[in-house]
Amino acid sequence: MLAGPQQIVFINRGRAEGVSPGDVFEVFRPAAGVVGTASEQMQVVLEIVHTRDHSASGLILNVGHPKLVPGMPVRLIRKMPS
């Protein structure tokens, strides 16, 4: 999938994992399949707009590299205050 600003994407984390509307996540591609290395590439930044028990939908805010593949890792980069 090629991602663009204002598109909706889904992640496999939801309310049960502490995700709330307004949280901001980064979807990234690990370098050589190893998470936590310096050469990771940010694919997109998204803001959560709706949560379910174990999934959430997010609006793409920023695109670094537009290619998204199901199963790419995500990490929380900003938590909405409770």
Euclidean distance between CA atoms 62 and 71, whole angstroms: 19
CA–CA distance, 1 with 75 (Å, rounded to integer): 19
pLDDT tens sequence across 27-74: 998 877 566 666 688 999 999 999 999 999 999 999 999 999 999 999
Cβ neighbourhood burial of 48 (10 Å; 0-12, 13-18, 19+)? buried
Q: Confirm whether pTM is higher than 0.85.
A: yes
* pLDDT over threshold 90, residue 25: yes
The alpha carbon of residue 60 and the mean position of all alpha carbons in its chain are separated, in whole angstroms, by 8
Distance CA 56, CA 65 (A): 21
pLDDT of residue 26: 96
pLDDT of residue 40: 83
> What's residue 76's pLDDT?
97
